[in-house]
Amino acid sequence: MKSHLDLTTGLSGKAEFHFNRMEEILQGRPVGQVTVDGIDAVFINDPTLIRAIQVKDSRKYVRGDLFQKGRNISRAGLLLEDEASHRHYRRLSNPFLRVAKVDEYVPTMRRIVSDAVASWHAGDLVDIQNEMCWISGAIALAALFPSPFPEPSRDLSDRLAALILETIRKPLYGKVATPAQPYGLPSGQPAQAREEVRKLLFSYVDEQLRRPDSAAGYLSALLLDTDETGERVLTVDQICDEAIMMLIAATATMASVMSWALYVLSEEPLIEEKLFEDMPKAGNEGAAHGIERSSYTFRFLMEILRLYPPVWIACRKTRSSISLGDHLLPEGVNVIFSSYLLHRNSDRYPDAHRFDPDRWLSFRPGAGDDTSYIPFGIGPKACIGEAFAWRELEVILGTVMQRWRLGTKPGSSVQAAAETTLHPHELLMIPQPR
């Protein structure tokens, strides 16, 4: 760990991640010292050591400084550092995210996606990221925060989509986040978008407080969560913050993954044809997370998540001095690892940069202590919404493909942007009827 590398040196003072440079420098190096987004850290690129951090010794680490933006959005609920509190809110949200419950959301998911893509016009340019932000946001609202009003709020869906898009396109904000940048976002449009969402959520909370019989979803669970004295655990302000955090977490990642999926289909006509033929087979019966593991649809989405993991980098901080493999890390050290690099390790994945759904016919991740595939993380702090995400991916993908074939804007070059999520820098596509 002698050399210290800055992975985010950009032009005009703007932090930019250079994946080619990361791969060139870090592949084959299990441990190194780096600077990422202003944060000095130890970079871990060894699956065994990463598993120790996330599973075996998970309680010896807290969220690292690259999570500062998330903590600024919500300092309550699932992002609490206290282990008991974190487990409490995982249990509180679990009834709304378990596999059996997710199946109940499917008709609503399909209706939302169908209505959205029906508004597209053949031959017109469609901003796919914006559309995926709106669709995934509307689905999250309907499932986790159902409206107490007779009709769901289109206004809230529109404002949430704007907030998600702004969030996706911002850097991680480690040390560069300042008190002048509330909630890890700069002033101006992103902050305004957040306050507009927050204002509308207040109206939801107020209505459910006045009409407790109308309460439903995770929002009502937060409102009904009381301590031993019967007092509400979270204030209304904290509940709104937690709702915004959950909505962003559930939608920013989904929008990025679906954008990449639709882009890959436009570039790979043979894969697109095979996927379209397989879609009717990707139903409910006997399916893991709604998708049969033997289906081409499942393998396609596995490969999308391998090459384009939305949470492409993660950060933990040591609670105290700890041994990690042959290295002794002192207290307060940031430890960083990247699913992007793990998923493109040529030792684990032959021809690692090639998009090949059929590699999953012979390779099964997660066997034993294998940690070479972690799009949802692993261990006690893994993504609690994994089942929800798989079902939503299937529904959105199938609904779009049944109606449209998408192509990229002529002459455009789609580049990866490594910011809050790993997303296309810009993705304008042209729909044609199928």
Alpha-carbon gap, residue 423 to 108, rounded angstroms: 26
- Residue 199 phi, psi (nearest 5): -60, -45
* Cβ 131 vs Cβ 429: under 8 Å: no
Residues in the chain: 434
| Tokens linked to 78 | 């699932």
Alpha-carbon gap, residue 377 to 386, rounded angstroms: 10
Angle at which helices 236-267 and 217-224 cross, to 10°: 160
| Tokens linked to 304 | 């999308």
Alpha-carbon gap, residue 434 to 420, rounded angstroms: 34
Q: Is 383 annotated for ligand binding?
A: yes
Name residue, tokens 């007092």. Answer: 231
State the CB neighbour count (10 A cutoff) for residue 337: 24
Name residue, tokens 């040529």. Answer: 346
CA 398 → CA 51, 82, 294, 385, distances in Å?
Answer: 34, 40, 17, 20
DSSP labels, 312-378:
--EEEEESS-EEETTEEEPTT-EEEE-HHHHHT-TTTSTTTTS--GGGGGT--TTSTT--S--TT--
- Annotated binding residues for heme, written as ranges, equal 383
- Annotated binding residues, written as ranges, equal 383
